[in-house]
Structure 1
Amino acid sequence: MFAMELFTKLFGNLIAFVYHCFDRIVIHGYLSALSRPEQVVYFFRQVLGVPVVSKEILSQRTADYQNWVEAFARNHHTPIVWAEKGVRKEDHVLAWQRRMTKNNAYGVYFIFKSMEQGPTFRISMPKYPTRDPHYRILAHQRSRFTHYYFYIRDEVLGPMVMRVASFFPFQTSYYLNGHSFIEQELNRTQIGFRKNDNAFLAVDDVTALQAAADRLSPEIIRKRLDYWTLILGPKFSAKERKQLNLSRFYAISQIEYCRNFIFKRNFPIHKLFERSCELGLWRLTANKIAAIFGSRLHRRHRGKLATVIDQIEHGHHVFRAYFKSAFLKQYEKFSTFLRNELCSNNLSDFGLKKGLDHLDAVRQTFQAITDRFAGFQAQWLNVHVDFPLLQRIALPIAIGSVRYPGIKIHDTRVIRLCEVLLHGGTHVGGWTANQIHQAVLTTFHLSDKGYGLNQLRYDLRKLRGHGLIERDGSRYAYRLTTKGVQVALLFLFFHKRLCGPLANSRFHHEPDAKHRPHSQLEAAYHRADKAINQIVRLLAVA
């Protein structure tokens, strides 16, 4: 957890508390004994004694279940409606959910019906006659049929959703949230907290909060899913269950793990997020993304590899770093907390198994990834610059019999080179000299005479001598080292964030002495301008 220690060291005085937990979890439930065509045939012919497995037989089981759901809704006075296109289900049922919470009641409070694609079986006659006149061909297919969404308030997992397919093999999906489980745990132990949406903004005992998050286990989840599947799922008799040894296998389809930084004040959050996005687009190159996700990058890499800033609803922006079928995202919410969240749609990207029993392994792996992400951000946002570094690289050095000249912070060619190398995220294996040369010429609109290839090779030799770039194995391709990234950022920030604004303020904008500054930076510009004018006047008198 060294990375988190660095982040806490930098911003500990601004942070109220930090916690990490599972957020959204989507689990698929499969009837293991009825998932293959031959198992379905065995069930009807050997267990139920139905000689011919026909479409009408399967449809009858569907009709029986649909009639049971309608009767359940009537008997429990539960609303059951068809889902309308364009209407967000979670928003529609919010009033019923709040009513259940206010009354401290548990159970099903709403049912949606929806026509959706799902796995089922196709039955067809054999092309040629067979010895068995009842023989039929069953094969997997996807078709459109009715699915039921049961909105539940569970006494352990809190608000959850269970989706049941009404056709064989009756696949189920469960939508859980780790924050809801934590809320139930804190209520049970009578620990005070303040929660908004899916985030805890205040809590009486931070240690108890984290302990509750860590208690979410496969055993707890399986017990509650088995219970609700028995109550609300398709109906099988005791005889059918016994002969088939009927049970469900639970597999993780989608999972999110978040690390939340709750700040004491609103102001620093947006500034940190803004700077983190800016530096992330510069510094999260392909190799850095692979390092954060705990993988080694190679040329056979498959899947997405990118960093972007997306705008989502309500005007919030999200910084995303993609890796295969997973992505890390960071966003600010309610002007109160900053969240780093890892979302995976395919656990095999991390060498993990999707079975629910492997949830603890997922937790450990995702904790390490979000920890490394926070560590990289702490390095980006660390404003305690090693200024002696500028003095050291400005001096010439000798390695063996080879002497390398120093690198000056005002060297225009080096500044251009640093800017191009910092934006090398699309080059998985580093930049060749020709690629760097073309990028510099294109970016800064130079000609071959203005900056030749031999001049570039001289600059690369100088950067490599000072340990700012390295070769990619035995290839003549180059990329910035960790030290090189720090120096490149320092050079660019010095020229673009300090020298540029100061020069513009001095030569293009004369400060008004009567104008009241709106920020500390602007006030500092005024003081600097006043001091420079005083020096000029003293020199004139002398």
Structure 2
Amino acid sequence: METFSRLFGSLLMFVYHCFDRIVINGYLSGLSRPEQAVSFFREVLHVPSITKEVLRQRTTDYRNWVEAFARNHEVPIEWAEKGVRKEEHILPWLRHMERKNAYGVYFICRSMEQCPSFRSSKPKYPTENPDYRILAPQRSRFMHYYFYIRDEVAGPMIFRVGTFFPFQATYWINGHSFMEQELHRLKVPFRKDDNAFLAVDDPEALQAAADRLSAEIIRNRLEYWTLVLGPKFSKRERMTMNLNRFYALTQVEYCRNFQTKLPDPQNLPTLL
């Protein structure tokens, strides 16, 4: 770094480092294992037999809620097209939200994907209890929803949730988007292109914005949108079972950015 600064310091306008892409999985702590799901249905809901139809009903209820949400809020909802990048497809809707300076869900995408779920089956041999079912984990292909969100704190983010028990969720956020929101809040002028700040009136404020991104802020935004958009549980269900999400990082990108001015070719540093 010292050598870089010595050779190119005269060309640097500012330098900043920050989190870039962050991918987080969210698991329902109280429903992630088969025995927990059995306890939920039998002891909380008093369902005697956990059949395929019982599991499917929770899926149907959630899908109906999402479709009604999209309809009531006039949010476009479409199936993902093969060969089309989702982020590029939804970009016009994000730009529309930015022009209106509006926040919230601006697009919902349906997608068939593999994810953990539960399988209900009858025991191989007869039992004394005719309602007895075996609940086992499996990986299967089923529908997921992608909620594209413009958040007041985190900026553009994505919330994906499976529609089958145990409703595993994944979240995508970006440190550059958070920094952009912070600079807007502080009224610091800047120019940004995609994932790079090209100019800023106060480089120290830019770095301070990057440093403010914390686990507490991220958790707060994930919890908020999970509550608003995730599978629904009644107050009694939440009081009886631990239905809080456990969050685990699956991908983190951290970057150091050097913004330079255009050099005079005759004044380029000599490397030898």
User: Do the two structures share a fold, i.e. TM-score over 0.5?
Assistant: yes
SS in 1 for 2:81: coil
Instruction: Give the aligned partner of residue 212 of structure 1.
Output: 209
What does residue range 432-451 of structure 1 map to in structure 2 within 5 Å?
none
SS in 2 for 1:145: strand
- The question of 1:7 aligning with 2:1 is answered no
Instruction: Give the aligned partner of residue 195 of structure 1.
Output: 192
CA distance in 2, matches of 1:21, 1:100: 25
CA distance in 2, matches of 1:266, 1:100: 37
- The question of 1:264 aligning with 2:261 is answered yes
- After superposition, the CA RMSD in angstroms is 1.6
The answer to whether the Cα contact below 8 Å between 2:110 and 2:145 also exists between their aligned partners in 1 is yes
Moved more, 122-131 or 78-87: 122-131
Q: How far did residue 8 of structure 1 move? A: 1.4
CA distance in 2, matches of 1:258, 1:130: 59
The answer to whether the Cα contact below 8 Å between 2:29 and 2:246 also exists between their aligned partners in 1 is yes
CA distance in 1, matches of 2:50, 2:172: 33
- The question of 1:383 aligning with 2:271 is answered yes
Q: How far did residue 44 of structure 1 move? A: 0.3
- The question of 1:40 aligning with 2:41 is answered no
In structure 2, runs of 5+ residues without a counterpart are: none
CA 8–219 in structure 1, closer or farther in 2 if over 3 Å, else same: same
What amino acid is aligned across from residue 16 of structure 1 in structure 2? M
CA distance in 2, matches of 1:267, 1:57: 71
Instruction: Give the aligned partner of residue 17 of structure 1.
Output: 14
SS in 2 for 1:56: helix
CA distance in 2, matches of 1:267, 1:162: 46
- The question of 1:61 aligning with 2:58 is answered yes
SS in 1 for 2:30: helix
CA distance in 2, matches of 1:127, 1:91: 49
Q: How far did residue 6 of structure 1 move? A: 3.0
TM-score (normalised: structure 2)? 0.96
Bigger-Rg structure (1/2) = 1
Instruction: Give the aligned partner of residue 105 of structure 2.
Output: 108
Spell out, residue by residue over 1:259-303, the C-alpha distance to the aligned partner (whole angstroms, 9 max, x if none): 1111111688xxx9xxxxxxxxxxxxxxxxxxxxxxxxxxxxxxx
Spell out, residue by residue over 1:244-270, the C-alpha distance to the aligned partner (whole angstroms, 9 max, x if none): 0210011111111111111111688xx
CA distance in 1, matches of 2:154, 2:264: 34
Q: How far did residue 133 of structure 1 move? A: 3.0
What does residue range 122-161 of structure 1 map to in structure 2 within 5 Å?
122-161=119-158
What does residue range 365-384 of structure 1 map to in structure 2 within 5 Å?
383=271
SS in 1 for 2:3: helix
Q: Give the number of the structure whose residues are more often strand, by fraction.
A: 2
Number of aligned pairs?
A: 270
CA distance in 2, matches of 1:215, 1:7: 27
CA 266–143 in structure 1, closer or farther in 2 if over 3 Å, else same: farther
Aligned match for 2:174, one of 168, 173, 177:
177
SS in 2 for 1:181: helix
SS in 2 for 1:85: coil
CA distance in 2, matches of 1:114, 1:83: 6
Q: How far did residue 62 of structure 1 move? A: 0.2
In structure 1, runs of 5+ residues without a counterpart are: 273-380, 385-542
SS in 2 for 1:12: helix
Q: How far did residue 140 of structure 1 move? A: 1.1
What amino acid is aligned across from residue 213 of structure 1 in structure 2? A
- The question of 1:71 aligning with 2:87 is answered no
CA distance in 2, matches of 1:115, 1:56: 20
Q: How far did residue 48 of structure 1 move? A: 0.3
CA distance in 1, matches of 2:242, 2:27: 13
Spell out, residue by residue over 1:60-114, the C-alpha distance to the aligned partner (whole angstroms, 9 max, x if none): 0000000000000010000001111011111111111011111110000000011
Instruction: Give the aligned partner of residue 226 of structure 2.
Output: 229
CA distance in 1, matches of 2:30, 2:52: 20
What does residue range 237-276 of structure 1 map to in structure 2 within 5 Å?
237-265=234-262
Q: How far did residue 14 of structure 1 move? A: 1.3
